[in-house]
Amino acid sequence: MYYKYLYKVKTILTFILILSITSCITQKPIEKAETGASKYNPSSFVLHPQFKVFHETDSYSKLYLKLFTKELRFSSTNEQRVNQSVVKVNYKITSSILSKSIIDSAQTSITIKKIAGQTSVISFFKIKDIDLDQYLIEINLIDLYGNKKSQSFIRVNKSNDGNEQYYLSLKSSNNKPLFNEYFKRSDTLFIKNKNTNIKKISVAYFKPNSDNAEKPFVSKKQEQFNLKQDSIWDIPTKTWKAEFSGTKPGIYIIRADSVKIRGLLKVQFDNAYPMITNSKNMLDALQYLLKDEEIKTMQNSVNKKLSIDNFWIKTTGSKERARELIKIWYNRATYSNYYFTSFKEGRKTDRGMIYTVFGPPDDIKYFDDAEKWIYINTKEDTKLDFVFVKQDNSISNNDYSLIRESRYEVYWNKSIKSWRAGKVYHY
C-alpha cells in the first residue's frame, strides 16, 4: 500500500542496551527494490538482526533490535583498551519502499562490551508518532570492526489497535522482550498491552495444525482458515502485565479485547522446538521424501528412530554418508522452524517445504507482501523461482503461501530422486 501524504517528523532516537540470551525470528520482508539471499542463510557473512515493534503509547512506539554477539567482531584497539564491538546504525522512515520522500532519518552507534557467556544483546529506540497508519523503517547496520552489514525493512502498522504490535511479551525469568512466536511448556510469559488500564486479557486456544505443506504443484488446501476455537479464558492483569503460560501444544491468540479478531500469536509445540529431536518430529520432517506406504510403515514401527536410520542407510549405502545427509536435511528443517514459524511449525509451511528440499535460495527479491526465491544453475545458466505471497489473516503475520504451478512437478521429482539416491539436492 502506498500513501500520498508525507509528514516531516522529528524522531526521538534513544538506545538502551539490554543483555539477552533468547532466540527470535527474523525480520519480516518488505517491498524491496534490491535483492539478497543472506536473510535465510545463517552461514552468510552478514549480520542477522531481529526486530520487534511495540506501540507503547499514543506519542511513540519502540523498535526493539537484537544482535547476536557471535556475528560481531570485538576489538580492544580503542582509547580505553576495552574489548568491545561498535555497530553503526542508520535508519530512515518512508511511506513505502519505493517512495523517495524521507519522512525522517538519523544515525547513531551502539557500543557493546565483551562479556563472558553473553550470546546476544537487545537495544531499542523510540519513534515519535507519525501521522500515517502504516509506514516503513529501513535500518542499515555496519559492524565497524568486522565490516559485516545488514539491511532490514520493518513495517509499522497502526491501522488496527488489536494487531500484534500493540503487545509485548517478555520472559518472566529475566523480564526481557521475546521476538519469537513460539514458547516452551515450561515458560511463563509476561504480556504487556498498550492499554495499561485493562483489568484482564483474553486467551483463545486452538489445537495444533499438523498438516505438512502440499507439494508445490498441488493445489493448496485452505484448512488453516477453518481452525476452530477449542477454549477461551481470561487472565487478570497486575500493574501493567498479565502472566501467561500454556501447557498444551497448540495455538494461542492473546487479546486485550475478546471482541477483536486480531491479537498476539503465541504457539507451543514442544520443549525442544525449533530443534527436531524426537522420532515423531523426525519422521514428520522426512515425509516430503517418503511414499505413502513408507510413511504408514514407519508410523506403525515399534522403533521409529531405527526405521528412520535404516531409510537413510539404505538410501546412501553407508552409515557415514547417511550421517552427512541426516545432518543436512534436519538442519534445513530446523532452520525452517526458526525462520518460518506461523500458526504451524515452520517446516510444515510452504517456505519451510521449499527450504528443506531445495535449500536456501541463491537470491531473493522482496516485494510488498511477497518474496520471490531464485535458485541458479550456473552450469546450465538457468533459474528456478518460487513466489510466496503474504496471507492477510487474523492468525499470523508470518504466513506466506506459494503460488503453485504445474511446472514445478519436474523439478520436485528431480529433487526427491536426488535425495533418495543419497545425494544432497542443489538445483
Q: What is the pLDDT of residues 325-352, one digit of tens each?
A: 999 999 999 999 999 999 999 999 999 9
Instruction: For residues 272-293, give the mean pLDDT.
Output: 94
CA dist., res. 65 & res. 50, Å (int): 6
Segment holding 280, helix H or strand E: helix 279-286
pLDDT at residue 193, as a whole number? 93
Instruction: For residues 184-212, give the mean pLDDT.
Output: 91
CA dist., res. 115 & res. 117, Å (int): 6
| 107 contacts: CB under 8 Å, gap ≥ 6 | 88, 89, 90, 91
Note the helical H segments in 287-421: 292-299, 304-316, 319-340, 350-358, 408-420
* Residue with cell string 552461514: 43
Q: What phi and psi values does residue 223 have, to the nearest 5 degrees? A: -65, -20
Question: Residue 158 carries which side chain, given as an amino acid letter?
Answer: K
pLDDT at residue 1 is higher than 70: no
For the stretch 61-77, pLDDT in tens is 999 999 999 999 999 98
**Domain layout of the chain by residue ranges:** 18-159, 172-268, 279-420
pLDDT at residue 5 is higher than 80: no
pLDDT at residue 162 is higher than 70: yes
pLDDT at residue 247, as a whole number? 87
pLDDT at residue 222, as a whole number? 54
CA dist., res. 57 & res. 12, Å (int): 14
Average pLDDT, the chain: 86
pLDDT at residue 16 is higher than 70: no
CATH number of 18-159: 2.60.40.10
- Burial status of residue 58 (CB atoms within 10 A of its CB: 0-12, 13-18, 19 or more): exposed
Answer whether 372's CB lies under 8 Å from 386's CB: yes
Position with higher pLDDT, 216 vs 80:
216
Instruction: For residues 235-261, give the mean pLDDT.
Output: 90
For the stretch 364-413, pLDDT in tens is 988 878 899 999 998 888 999 999 998 877 688 899 999 999 999 999 99
Q: Return the number of other C-beta atoms located less than 10 Å from residue 230's C-beta.
A: 12
Instruction: For residues 189-214, give the mean pLDDT.
Output: 91
Instruction: For residues 175-204, give the mean pLDDT.
Output: 93
pTM for the predicted model, two decimal places: 0.85
Going by pLDDT thresholds of 50, 70 and 90, the confidence category of residue 19 is: very low
Percent of the chain with pLDDT over 90: 67
Q: For residue 158, what is the DSSP state?
A: -
Going by pLDDT thresholds of 50, 70 and 90, the confidence category of residue 23 is: very low
Give the dihedral of Cα atoms 247, 249, 254, 258; nearest 10 deg. -100
pLDDT at residue 234, as a whole number? 95
Going by pLDDT thresholds of 50, 70 and 90, the confidence category of residue 14 is: very low
Give the end-to-end CA distance of the chain in Å, rounded to a whole number. Answer: 34
